[in-house]
Structure 1
Amino acid sequence: MNEEQRRAIEADCERLIKLYVNLNDAQDWDAVAALYTEDARFARPSKPGEFVEGRAAILTSFTARPPRAQRHVISNIVVDVEDADNARGFSVIVLYMGDRPEDGGLPVQDPKSPLIGTYTDRLVRTAEGWRFAERVGGLDFRP
């Protein structure tokens, strides 16, 4: 693999990580789940040792949550390319969340917000493009 190919993989994987938070904030759960492989594993930052396994189960875990106002900010993304079809990712995540008011005004920020943590990812190239094979979150501070 040459330098240009490595950089292209890094860019594709970084885009996947950024797309994930945008779709998550839009609460487009079908699109979020589609970013995982069929046999992927996912652990939320609030429960890093509890894995949800499989794309269908990951989708169910998102749709089971009550809607909330939320905004993720992701930074410090580093992608390490292992080979043409495998990479590892690390990112820092900040989550602002709150309750949606009935009057349609600005949400009221949750007193536990913001949450600050990380994601460690195993990324694989599939026929559909780069996908998460494993996504493990963790919190850096207690709320």
Structure 2
Amino acid sequence: MTTLSDAARAEIERQCARLVHVYANANDAGDWQAVAGLYAADGVMFRPTAPDEPLTGRDVILASLRARPARTTRHVCANVVIDVASETLATGESAMLLFTGAPQPLVGSYRDRFVLTEEGWRFAERRGSLLFGP
């Protein structure tokens, strides 16, 4: 097993944390193609509002996103912590605050598995959960 340098580990952490933030911004922009493209080809998404319903593969994720009713949102991601397992695998956790225009925002978290692909770091799995909601 290859031991990663501190610099290599920090770079993987940076790239995976960036992926979390790009995901939030693309989601808020309604750029569903970009959101789906942040997953590995066989990536799995579990929505915070449907944590027991896995969506597997970019095409399925994209179709699900496109089927949602249009809405204006702002996701705020914080407390992003990435743990590097190897040169090609990492995990992460982040807190999420979702504003939808409703009186009370949704508060939840994501647990992520990241994988290095030919396209760069992507979500192998993104599992959302709600802690506080309407």
> Please, what TM-score do these two structures have when normalized by structure 2?
0.95
Aligned positions of 1:64-103 closer than 5 A: 64-97=67-100
Partners in 2 of 1:6 and 1:49 — Cα distance? Answer: 32
Q: Which residue of 2 aligns with 1:15?
A: 18
- The match for 1:114 among 95, 105, 108 is 105
One-letter amino acid of the counterpart of residue 63, structure 1: R
- Structure 1 residue 142: deviation in Å? 3.6
1:137 equivalent in alignment to 2:133 = no
Partners in 2 of 1:25 and 1:37 — Cα distance? Answer: 20
- Count matched residues: 131
Q: Which runs of 4+ in 1 moved over 3 A?
A: none
Partners in 1 of 2:15 and 2:94 — Cα distance? Answer: 15
Q: Which runs of 5 or more structure 2 residues have no equivalent in the other structure?
A: none
1:45 equivalent in alignment to 2:36 = no
18-27 or 46-55, larger mean C-alpha shift: 46-55
Question: Cα deviations across residues 21-67 of structure 1 (Å, max 9, x unaligned)?
Answer: 00000000001100001111111011111111111000001000011
- Root-mean-square deviation (CA, aligned residues, Å) is 0.8
Q: Which runs of 5 or more structure 1 residues have no equivalent in the other structure?
A: 98-108
What percent of counterpart residues are identical? 49
3-12 or 41-50, larger mean C-alpha shift: 41-50
> Please, what TM-score do these two structures have when normalized by structure 1?
0.89
**Higher radius of gyration, 1 or 2:** 1
